[in-house]
Each structure stands twice: as structure tokens, then as C-alpha cells.
Amino acid sequence: MNLQLLETPVYGGTPRDWLITLGLSVAIALVMYLAKPILARRLVAQAQRSRTQLDDAMVAALQATRLWLVSIFALSLGSHYLTLPDRHNDLLKAATAVAFFLQLGFWAGAALNFWLGRSRARAMASNASAATSLSAIGFIAQLVLWTVILLLVLDNLGINITALVAGLGIGGVAVALAVQNILGDLFASLSIVVDKPFVIGDFIIVDNYMGTVENVGLKTTRIRSLDGEQIVFSNSDLLKTRLRNYKRMVERRVLFSFGVAYETPPDLLEQIPATIRKIVEAQSRVRFERAHFQKFGEYSLVFETVYWVTDPDYNLFMDIQQAVNLAIMRALKSERIVFGMPRQSLQLEGPLRLDAGEPEAARSAGNGAKAGAH
């Protein structure tokens, strides 16, 4: 009786056929579930011994395997023991095709992300502009990949993709008008990649903000400031403003001035530019340009000096400037030349009023006296 029950026709097969189908599907899915971590460990071990990147890319692709898509494959294989109606059989074939293309997209996307990540890390060490370009290339590649996958899926579902592509051209205009701000940032991102006003790792100043470029995204650029916080700029706004890129600096021009007292004799004033020249040229990685008695200041005689540091490093510039300042102070002190300081003087004219109790000598000394306050 039980054997007859197993042979009773039930929607495309017998209960025996259905049990075989379900058992085979579960077995295939279970094998894939158990085999995935084992195969991943073997590939990782192989990748560590190999010098090529193919093994690493295979590991990344394997990690992107979706078991729910594998289950659809397993169900499709198991269904060969059944004789389903054409409508349901076509539906299962379409689901299998969709699962196949989706899984193919996940594998290709993971391998692409691995390649882009590895290339970006390698480029950061040698060519930061290439690392910036890879961000945009990655987005475009992923967009093209999933567009192709979507068209293949729709084609297998029986949708006329020729008419769909034509409709997308018209709809794309409407969408572009609706999201023109986002598209503006997107094209600004591409402009940054192509024109390269800055790349990842550059130190830039935008208005009153300064920091190191960390990431150039599709809509925004992220900068790490000197205080540690992250500053986010819209790409389109970033290209509209004036930007200073200090990473592109080859040499640093230094201009500084100081003043000496008006009481300094002209002969000593004449020697000061030559003294400054000697001090500056004594520093390493420096090119002297000029030193002059520039002008008569409000409180002092002003000297101006210009020199170049042949290395753009800011800390090196500050070390050199500190050494120059100290040497100038010592040189002027040895010649007894005093730095000019702000001062005010008060001049009184005419007889001073003295109290009646003061002696006559004090009144005589006070007549016509002049007092100065410094």
C-alpha cells in the first residue's frame, strides 16, 4: 500500500520523484555550504605562497558566492526528475538564468573590487594621481557591469530590451533634469580625475580650511584637517573656489623683515645686508635672493630679506628660519645695534607750576623744562 502511494502521480511526478528532487537539491546546497569555507582556506593558503594575484582574486570571488542563489541552481538540477507543466518549467528556467547572471555579477564585481583595491593601494605608494583616477574608474566599471547583468536578466525574462534601451534614452533626459545637482558633482568628480588639480595625499587649502585629501568620491571630497576632524566638500563647489595645493610646491619662498633703532649709525646700517647674506648662505638647502634697507618705518628702520628653501617641507623651513633669526640677533648684539621698538614721547613747553612750599632752586630748575616719556 505504501509502495503504491509513492508511485501515485502528483503534479509532474510521483512522491518518490519529489523526494528525490528535494533530497538532491538539499544535498547540493549543503555540499556548497560546507565546501565554501574549506575551499576558501585552501585558496588563501595557495595565494600566500603564490606571487600572482589570480589566487587572491579567486578568493575574493569565492567570498562573494551567495548560497541562496546556489539553492536555486540546486533546485533546478533536482527538477530534472520531475515533468512540470511548460509554464512552470519555463518559470524555473527563467529563475535559474536570473540566479546565474546575478551570481556571475557578484563574482565579477568582487574580482573587480579586489583588483581596484590592490591597484589603489599600490598606486598610493608611487602615484597618488593614479589612485584618485581608480576611484572613478571603479564606479564606471561597476556601473557598466551591473547594467549588462540587468539587460541579460531582462532579456531572459522575455522583456524586449531594444525598446527598453530606447525608452531609457528619453527617460534619461528627464532623470538628468531632476538630479542635475548630483550629476554636476559626478561630472566634477570626473573633472578632478582627468584634470588632477589635486590627488589623494595632497595638502590643500580651500578658503579658510586646510588639510590632506583622503578620498575623492563621486559627490564629495573628504579632507583630514590639521586638528584631526574630517572636512567634506561638494565636488562642484570645490572646483568653483580658489584652491592652493602645497604638495605641488617645489621650493618655498621666504620673506621676512625686522627693524633697528633710528639711533643706529649709517655705517652700521650699511653693513647689515651683508651680514644677513652671510647668515642665510650659511644654512643648508637655501638659496639667498636679496637683503635691503627697505624703508623708514614708524618706529624703526626696516630691513627686508628674501631667500628660498629648496625643499618644500614646512618643518625644515621653520628650522632654517629659527636659525637665521637667532644668528641675526647675535650679530646685531655684537655690534650693539638695538632693535626698533614702538615708543611715544611727550614734550612739555613753558613754565611749570610748582607749589609755594618748594625751594627757589626747584622753581628755577623747573622753568622751561622739557620732559620725555619713553
What pLDDT is attached to residue 329? 95
With 0-12 / 13-18 / 19 or more C-beta atoms within 10 angstroms meaning exposed / middle / buried, residue 307 is buried
- Note whether 123 and 94 are within 8 A (CB): no
AA identity, residue 276: I
What pLDDT is attached to residue 184? 72
What pLDDT is attached to residue 371? 41
What pLDDT is attached to residue 373? 39
Q: What percent of the chain has pLDDT over 90?
A: 26
What is the rounded end-to-end Cα distance, in angstroms, of the chain? 125
Closest to 77 (Cα-Cα) out of 29, 33, 13, 8: 29
Rounded to 10°, the helix 15-49/67-78 angle is 140
Backbone torsions φ then ψ of 352, nearest 5 degrees? -90, 145
Q: How far, in Å, CA of 232 to CA of 216, rounded?
A: 10
What pLDDT is attached to residue 134? 67
Q: Which domains does the chain have, with CATH numbers?
A: 9-124 (no CATH), 127-248 (2.30.30.60), 252-334 (3.30.70.100)
Residues of the chain with confidence (pLDDT) below 50: 1, 356, 362-365, 368-374
Closest to 81 (Cα-Cα) out of 7, 22, 32, 6: 22
Give, in degrees to the nearest 5, the angle at Cα 298 between 297 and 302.
20
What pLDDT is attached to residue 370? 42
What pLDDT is attached to residue 90? 72
Mean pLDDT of the chain: 78
Q: Does the reported pTM lie above 0.85?
A: no
AA identity, residue 103: Q
Q: How far is CA 71 from the centre of its chain?
A: 41
Closest to 199 (Cα-Cα) out of 184, 180, 213: 213
- Note whether 138 and 113 are within 8 A (CB): yes
